[in-house]
Structure 1
Amino acid sequence: MGVCMSIAKPSIHSVDSRSLLSTVLVQEEQKISLNTFENSGARKLFKKKGSAFDSRLEEEITLDAPTAVVTDKDKTRREVDNIKYALSKHFIFNSLTEDQLDFIIGKMKHYALSPDAIVFMQDQPGGNFFVVASGKLQVIINGTLTKILKPGDSFGELALLHDTPRSATIKTIEKTVLWGVDRQTFRTTLEQLNSMNYQENLNFIETVPIFQILTVQQRDALVSSLSTHAFYPQQRIVNEGEPGDLFYLIKEGTVSCVKEGQEIRSMGRGDYFGEQALLHNCVRTATVIAITQVKCLAIGRDSLTKVLGSKLQHIIYINTQRIALERSPYISQLTRDQVESIIRSMRVHTFQHGQIVINAGIEKGVALYILLKGNLRNHSGTKVYESLCCLGDLDITGNFNEIYPEELIAEGKVDIAVISRAEFEILIGGEFIEIINKNEALAVLKKVQIFRDLSQDKIIRLMNCLKLEEFQDGDFIFKQNDPGDSLFIIKTGRVEVIKNHIRVRTVAKHDYFGERSVLYNDLRTASIKASGQVTCWVLHQKDFLNIINDDIKNLLVKRIQLQDTNVNLQDLIIKKTLGRGMFGIVFLVMHKSKKTCYALKTVERKKVLRYQIQNNLVLERKVLMQLDHIMIMKLIRTFKDEKRIYFLTEYVRGQELFDVIRQMGLLSESDAKFYISCLVVILEHLHERDIVYRDLKPENIMVDDDGYPKLIDFGVAKILQGRTFTIVGTPHYMAPEIITGKGYGTPVDYWSMGIILYEFICGSVPFGEDEEDPFAIYQKILDHNLMFPSWLDQSLPARVFVEQLLHLNPSLRNGGSIQKLKTNSWFSTVLWENLLSKQVKPPLIPLIVETESAQSGLLHFNLDDYISKEEANSAFPSITPKQRPGSNLNWDEDF
């Protein structure tokens, strides 16, 4: 948590001060000399890639040019042109449209300065970008004049991205006029313009019938792949008879549609043409000519295939099948995987108008039909079935013998998807009623805490071991202090929980009890008595242990210990200080009685007020509370008192991935695949919860004592509600859409993962490896000159995967979905289920040298006193904390 507010140029031994956990969850005594890793093949002499930026933590905009007379003066056409020319030299403005440039220029203010006036000082925070309109200025670095700025020059551009110290002093030589814009105005304006443009394009897409069946994610991917094309009056956009693969949607202007020399219609804003080019490989059926200045959104068939993963018609039909099955009250009871397997296996048949689609007398339960396109009617026309309709869904799920009483005939061209009952039952695993009952039990098993980290395969095997047992009213299912060896899940009825002869509570359908008995040979802590007739699924310990080996069992025991939130500050003993960041300190603590070790992060309230990080802490807690994954640091609980906010987390023993990969040298493709595969399942867990991490890099990944990566430090993660625009992350790992301010989502994490994979196999990052200036790094990222070392095997499959992850189009990085990413050919040998249960052998187990046992040397002094002494040693600006207007005084109510 927390971000450095200046650009540090870290030495090889420096610690990234933004991270309160990445630098501290590893024990001090396990550090290995950096010299150990210098002999690492082609890997460059390493150092951490600077601190992350988080524009949420910036101070109020600095007042640059304090002596200037600032006005909102109108600009002449020539002044606008001169400003545009100056802006064209900077990548920050190169990605803006002409309209966006005009809007930003309109926001620039007129600064009039006298001779010898200071615009800003070196090493002071900066908030403005300036273009020189007239006059001359000195650029002074470390007291030395290095350059003279003249009209048409500009300076201070990095200030538009984030708060960073000025690298030089700028001083006027003579009377000078500047055009300037501050960061807040620039970023806010850009966010508003891009949000409006994105929403407008999305609205256009949603009006096109062939796109209406797409999912929200697919439409979003489509919008990200649109390109803008401008046409002048009388320019031909498409020609009749020529092959075409572009679909056009008119955003501005009017066009004429001409067929065989005759105008058949004119089209304007919101109209579209060329949809057949997306569906079929066909020639244009008409010529389209721009009547006025025209601006169109366009997408090609190849781009669409890359974004959606298949031909559009196929995607439309897949979505139609999915929606139809979701609407069926019967089929919708199946699991998502079962439904998807049915969709993949259905065959599509085409019928022309008037053809018989379903014959009279056929049993309804023989097959399942989904009407994809067109209508079906009976001979009399009294019964009509439309697209998205399921036929036979009730009958295929039960033992019914009804028949279709009359023929169903195609009305227009009809496409219908079909699957037989026999194939249907093979795909779902048996008869429908039996499978639905199993699905019900499976859904409950997945909610049992001790099973949450098991693979899908293991869960299904446990489900198949469940036995149904019935109990009558008043029966004791088991009694307090009985030996326990079974887990019970209530299928029907209610039971009473009785402890020491007192009824504690009543539990009902889908509640479960006795789960610890499948792991431990504990005595029952309460009696369970049937209240009425009760049916339970029962899992016996012997069946559980036949499926779960000792390694997985030990893993589950560890996770159960972490899920125990019944811990108070008074229960903890401080072992030592692990490390400190900009905003807080992390301590190794131990539970007095359980002897369990944790990491305790503390943040002083006066620092919270000084840096106004209330919202950051609330968000960090909210994010961590949603996460429960074996490869993600576990939050146990939070505390608060009048002095501090506390985060009690899992204590991760191991090394940073940053150090591990330098110990290993260049990674083999199989070793790289192991770590990347683990990152994929981590990102899958995050993105399913709409959480974007935003600072994925080796320094934020621990390799634990099992050799598996574990993601830590969620200080800049965010729960997405649409697109976000904040500049957050470490420059070398930052996705281009973060830099340009166009808005971004979860695909930025795949970009960072691509940088890490490149680093694994090439020994350096691909963009700006030798740069420390963020501006230079950003420039190289946006230039996107992705090159691999000449010594790297040209046929290495990882190269192609890196290129996919580092695609400029965010929608193409995961191939369309996390499921498609996992089926990428590069992962063909990965056993995903085994990763989650840690059954895959890791490339390296970190060397952890402990100078003292975690059980020895307990400290017996007051916890508050020890923390206070450590806080006294932390540098802290001597500025009186202020509560900003509008701050929420009850921000910490959930801690």
Structure 2
Amino acid sequence: MGVCMTINRTLGNTSISKRQILSTAINLPEEEKKQADNFYLKVGERKKVKKKGPIGDMRSEVDYTVDAPSAQIADKPKNLRDCENIRASLGRHFIFNSLTDEQREVIIDQMKHYTLGPNAIIFEQAQPGNNFFVVCTGKLEVLINNKRVNVLRQGDSFGELALLHDTPRSATVKTMERSTLWGVDRKTFRSAVEGINSLNYQENLQFIESIPIFKILTPQQKDSLVSSLSIHNFNPQQKIVNEGDPGDLCYIIKEGTVTCSKDGVEIRTMGKGDYFGEQSLLNNCLRTASITASSPVKCLAIGRENLTKVLGNKLQQIIYINSQRIALEKSPHFARLTKEQIENIIKHIKIFTFLNGQTVNSSENEKGKLLWILLKGSLRNQEGETLYRDLVCFGDSEIVKEPEEANYEEIFAVGDVVIGVATRADFESAIGGPFHEVIVKNDALYVLKKVNIFRELPNDKIFSLLNELKIEDFEDHQVIFRENDPGDSFFIVKNGKVDVMKNNVYIRTITKHDYFGERSILFNETRTATITAKGNVSCWVLHQQDFLSAIDDKIRNLLLKRIQLQDNKVQLDDLYMIRTLGKGMFGIVFLVMHRDKQTNYALKTVSRKKIDRFNIQENLVLERKVLMQLDHIMILKLIKTFKDAKRIYFLTEYVKGQDLFDVLRQMGIVSERDSRFYFACLVAILEHLHERDIIYRDLKPENVMIDEDGYPKLIDFGTAKIVQGRTYTVVGTPHYMAPEIVTGKGYGIAADYWSLGIMLYEFLCGGVPFAENEEDPCKVYEKVQAHVIEWPSWVDQNLSARPLIEQLLSRNPSLRNGGSIEKLKANPWLSPMNWEKLLSKQLIPPFVPPSDEMGMDRFLANVPMDEFISAEEESTEIPKGPKRRKAQVSPNWDADF
């Protein structure tokens, strides 16, 4: 029997109409119409219960809870029968089913022997748990609310959920007679699982990198391949590959040795780290030799089918694209091109192959007419001198200039050579014009994207502003504008320097590619300083009239809001307290207002008593670090952090609106069009996070606000983490957690795509696909591991979003986004989406929260801030529990707050 914590999970009241649901079932058989009707009744009766927070280890790993405090604990050797009993017990729990034999044996070896007398408490209901136990001898009773619900005997086990995360026990367990148990604690269990998985991951990654055709892949592509590897075991003398057979698998030897033979003659022996069959991934060719196991052999294998799912149809093409990208980025001449321009050049490249000795570049070719990229092999001149080796550009220094009336020397292939070639016309078409003109615009574009005012503009608007830029020249000592003059122009220094003077006092010097006067194009403000040319100066100038003609009022208002959020000069003393917005386990969030600007903010406070009690110093530092990296129109904006002797403070934008959980219950079943809108917004949010190596880990409707414009805003970054590679902490909300989080195999950003798939299903089907009616986390995890997606009978089997949902809910994390975020955004179901308009909030949202439900934000609390916060803190009791060992924390942990 497994004793697990129970959490309430009900989906809430809704205004969904019966007609909305039954309209999709109008052509169904009568029995299925009844099922749809029952679904409506079930939805209508559900009561909404907000999640109290994510499940998971939110404190330091040095924390621990003492289970079975009166037990005598010993590292007693286990006999054969003990091991068999423990193995049988482990086999009954999904937590252990996904483990390898090696991991199971390590855990069994680490289990300690507990001896207890009668009436001894193992653990108590509602207290945190730390251990999993298997009954060796004796009898134990399970009590819920002091009522016996079960009796445990030899071979039974309990407490398995404690191995995943620190959550309160759902029952009390105590001995009925003298008993003995085998037990393992969470830290030991996770160390065993994570240690082996991490070692395997690193080893498998090294194997992948040892194969030449994979060396050129990006880190993300290599990680995807590691996730797609399968293990194959072979006995001595077993044939692994037969000469002449078709091949679609590449093998990497992890353990053992094999012999390679051709026409019955042994050619060589291969061992750990060697590989064979890689050509089958590039070409649909026959095996050229036979491979036979000469000892017990374990191989990692990847097939062409999985490779195609992860990387696309053509591995060779991917290798060439990656190679071109590396070569172009290595060229100093292309350093000022944008990422988009580099990708456009690659699209125009044509691939050619040359045999040893063939002429690659004839002396008839004029300089500046062609760009070459050497993808494979090396090149020599007529004297035999090596000129170029793979992954370099040549002709790049000439193509960025005007064509010369001069020819190249002849160049010849050394061995088999692969070269990419682009003509000047293709090159200029790819980058948007002659190189020197494009670079001038790129410099201005680079500066525009640095300016806070323009950062939120969609690319099409940025490029339209480029066309409005005028170049103006100023002589030495010429005044560009004076302090207190009206302002109507924005300047970017193209060449030269300017001095900034205020009240006739020198402030600073502004140099090439810096800017000034940006606020004048949005605000009718007077100049705050005098700007004077220091030598001859050339500037790009954008006039207010030209700027306003390039953007509409909606975008202008959007920019004004974002600029308000970029004022980090605000101080704690500048704020009035209005009211309490919400309380969490660790923090309290208040609505506050700036005294002078009358701007509303949200202020999250965390008392130092709770910080010390729960050892969450590291969590707060990480949360701040994550939020400081984020600046996206659909992500909560951190303004500033503060600290004092009592608390840590996070000042963020105030998102006025309703959370998506509430909105979905008001909308009922969401149409495909509306689901597409919300889904695309979440994709854009995840793209911003994942580009910064941030994994969110708790994506669900409760953590998404629908703002006053009707657009989603991601909030609550308490579980977010910066990850390069994999992490192993079990964190999240059970119904939205990816299977690899629970099994301890390690996970990365692909876990967020699983949660995204759950949400898309929830939009369209009104519930979650796994364990919709389960409240017990253990049962939820089991249903997720079983991976049977439960589609309501009234949902059209040909639902156009269904393939995308099934892709996002793939067991293989590397398959969820189709290979990249670009491929996910290019999914056919998302083809109607205009991403530029979405990111500039120009699309009409499905639902805009009524203004009267957005909260009364102008009723000030006539109480000093500290007094108001203290009163709220006193009403929030700190949960009591067993004593925990204190984490070792640096006394300066809050230095950056």
TM-score by length of structure 2 reads 0.94
Q: Do structure 1's residue 253 and structure 2's residue 256 form an aligned pair? A: yes
What pairs up with 1:487-498 in 2 under 5 angstroms?
487-498=490-501
Aligned residue type for 1:9: N
In the TM superposition, residue 800 of structure 1 has moved relative to its aligned partner by 0.6
Contact 2:377 2:414 in 1 (8 A): yes
- 530, 543, 554: which one aligns with 1:540: 543
After superposition, give the CA deviation of every residue in 1:752-800 in whole Å (9 maximum; x if it has no partner): 1110000000111001110110000011111111232222122222101
1:362–1:825 distance in 2 versus 1, CA, 3 Å? same
Map of 2:380 onto structure 1: 377
**Whole-angstrom CA distance in 2 between matches of 1:840 and 1:720:** 33
2:471 is matched with which residue: 465, 468, 471?
468
Task: Tell me, yes or no, if the aligned pair for 2:770 and 2:790 is still in contact at 8 Å.
Answer: no
- SS state at 1:56 partner: coil
Match of 1:341, SS state, is helix
Aligned to 1:507: 510
Gaps of at least 5 residues in structure 2 are: 22-38
Distance 1:453 1:271, change over 3 A: same
Distance 1:115 1:865, change over 3 A: closer
Give 1:10 deviation, angstroms: 5.8
Deviation at residue 450 of structure 1 after TM alignment:
0.7
SS in structure 1 of the partner of residue 335 of structure 2: helix
Deviations 1:103-157 (A, max 9, x none): 1111111222334433223333221111223333333334444333333221111
- Letter of the 1:867 partner, please give it: I
Is contact 1:347-1:418 (8 Å) kept? yes
The aligned residue for residue 28 of structure 1 is: none
**Separation in structure 2 between the aligned mates of residue 140 and residue 263 of structure 1, nearest angstrom:** 68
Who is 1:55 aligned against?
A: 57
Partner of 1:559: 562
Aligned residue runs from structure 1 range 110-129, under 5 A: 110-129=113-132
How far apart are the structure 1 equivalents of 2:828 and 2:613?
51
Q: How does 1:137-216 map to 2 (within 5 A)?
A: 137-216=140-219
Aligned length: 870
Distance in 1 separating the partners of 2:284 and 2:726: 34
Shift of 1:628: 1.1
1:675 counterpart (657, 668, 678): 678
Does 2:428 match 1:425?
yes
Cα distance in 1, alignment partners of residues 881 and 278 from structure 2: 63
Q: Which digits, 9 at most, give the CA deviation of each residue in 1:317-353, with x for residues without a partner?
A: 1111111111111123211100101112211122233
Give the conservation status (yes or no) of the 8 Å contact 1:190–1:742. yes
CA distance in 1: counterparts of 2:350 and 2:793, whole angstroms: 48
Moved more, 57-66 or 443-452: 57-66
2:872 is paired with a residue of what secondary structure? helix
Deviates more, 1:413-422 or 1:375-384: 375-384
Q: Where does residue 687 of structure 2 map in the other structure?
A: 684
Determine the structure 2 residue equivalent to 1:271: 274
Among 794, 805, 827, the alignment partner of 1:791 is: 794
User: Helix, strand or coil for the counterpart of 1:793?
Assistant: coil
Find the partner of 1:700 among 686, 698, 703: 703
Match of 1:447 in 2: 450
Deviation per CA, 1:608-655: give whole Å up to 9, x if none.
111221111111111111111111111111122222221111111111
Corresponding residue for residue 104 of structure 2: 101
* Distance (Å, rounded) in 1 between the aligned partners of 2:352 and 2:822: 27
- Asked if the contact 2:15/2:668 (under 8 Å) is kept, the reply is no
CA distance in 2, matches of 1:885, 1:580: 25
Which residue does 2:874 correspond to in 1? 872
Q: CA deviation at 1:296?
A: 0.7
Q: Distance in 1 between matches of 2:49 and 2:755?
A: 15
8 A Cα contact 2:63 2:887, kept in partner: no
Give the SS at the match of 2:207.
Answer: helix
Change (3 A) 1:441 1:11: same
Measured in 2, the distance between the counterparts of 1:765 and 1:92 equals: 22
Q: Structure 1: where are the runs of 5+ without partners?
A: 14-33
Point out the more displaced range, 47-56 or 630-639. 47-56
CA-to-partner distance for each residue in 1:212-243, whole Å, 9 max, x for gaps?
11111111111111111111111111111111
Label 1:881 to 1:285 Cα distance change in 2 as closer, same or farther (>3 A): closer
Question: C-alpha offsets along residues 330-380 of structure 1, whole Å, 9 cap, x if unaligned?
Answer: 123211100101112211122233332222221131111112223333333
SS in 2 for 1:269: coil
Q: Pick from 91, 94, 119: which aligns with 1:91?
A: 94
Contact map agreement 2:499 2:534 (CA 8 A) in 1: yes
1:859 to partner: Cα distance: 3.9
Match for residue 18 of structure 1? none
Which amino acid is the alignment partner of residue 744 of structure 1? Y
Match of 2:344 among 341, 349, 363: 341
Judge which range, 94-103 or 427-436, deviates more. Answer: 94-103
CA drift of 1:893 comes to 1.7
Query: Which shifted more, 786-795 or 229-238?
Result: 786-795
User: What is the aligned counterpart of 2:392 among 389, 392, 401?
Assistant: 389
For the aligned residue pairs, the C-alpha RMSD in angstroms reads 2.1
Give the aligned residue type for 2:86. I
SS in 2 for 1:167: coil
1:894 aligns with 2:896: yes
Relative distance call for 1:72 and 1:795 in structure 2 (3 A) is: same
Preserved CA contact (<8 Å) 2:10 2:47: no
Whether the 8 Å contact between 2:123 and 2:174 is mirrored in structure 1 is yes
Contact kept, 8 Å, 1:56 with 1:726, in 2: the verdict is: no
Post-superposition CA distance 1:674-710 (Å, at most 9, x none): 0010111111111111111111100110001101000
Query: Which residue, out of 560, 570, 573, partners 1:570?
Result: 573
TM-aligned CA deviation for residue 862 of structure 1: 1.8
Separation in 2, partners of 1:117, 1:57? 29
Equivalent position amino acid for 1:269 in 2: K
What is residue 599 of structure 1 aligned with on the other side?
A: 602
Shift, 1:883, TM fit: 9.1
- Once residues 878 and 787 of structure 1 are traced to their aligned partners in structure 2, the CA distance between those partners, rounded to angstroms, is 40
Which residue, 277, 283, 287 being the options, matches 2:286? 283
Cα 1:422/1:471, change in 2 over 3 Å:
same
Quote the offset at 1:580 in angstroms.
1.8
Q: Give the deviation of 1:879 after TM superposition.
A: 8.6
1:618–1:891 CA contact under 8 A, matched in 2? yes
Give the aligned residue type for 2:221.
Q
- What's the % identity of the aligned pairs? 60
Question: 1:471: how far off?
Answer: 1.3
Q: Secondary structure at the match of 1:602?
A: strand
Residues 1:81 and 2:57 are matched in the alignment:
no
Contact 1:49 1:730 in 2 (8 A): no
**What's the offset of the Cα at 1:885?**
5.1
Aligned to 1:884: 886
Local SS of the residue matching 1:563? coil
Query: Aligned partners of 1:280 and 1:102: how far apart in 2?
Result: 41
SS of the residue corresponding to residue 177 of structure 1 reads: strand
The one-letter code matched in structure 2 to 1:889 is P
Residue type of the alignment partner of 1:312? L
Contact residue 365 and residue 402 of structure 1 kept, 8 A = no
Is 1:321 the counterpart of 2:324? The answer is yes
Cα distance, 1:543–1:154 mapped onto 2, change above 3 Å? same
- 2:519 is aligned, of 494, 516, 533, to 516
Question: What's 2:30 paired with?
Answer: none
Q: In the TM superposition, what are the counterparts of 1:221-232 in structure 2 within 5 Å?
A: 221-232=224-235
The farther-off stretch of 449-458 and 616-625 is 616-625
Alpha-carbon distance in 2 for matches of 1:108, 1:211: 41
- The one-letter code matched in structure 1 to 2:239 is R
Residue in structure 2 matched with residue 25 of structure 1 by the alignment: none
Are 1:609 and 1:881, in contact at CA under 8 Å, matched by a contact in 2?
A: no
Amino acid corresponding to residue 355 of structure 2 in structure 1: Q
Distance 2:587 2:327 in 1: 53
For 1:103 and 1:522, the matched residues in 2 are separated by 70
Quote how far apart the aligned CAs of 1:391 are.
2.1
TM norm structure 1: 0.94
- Code of the aligned partner of 1:47: K
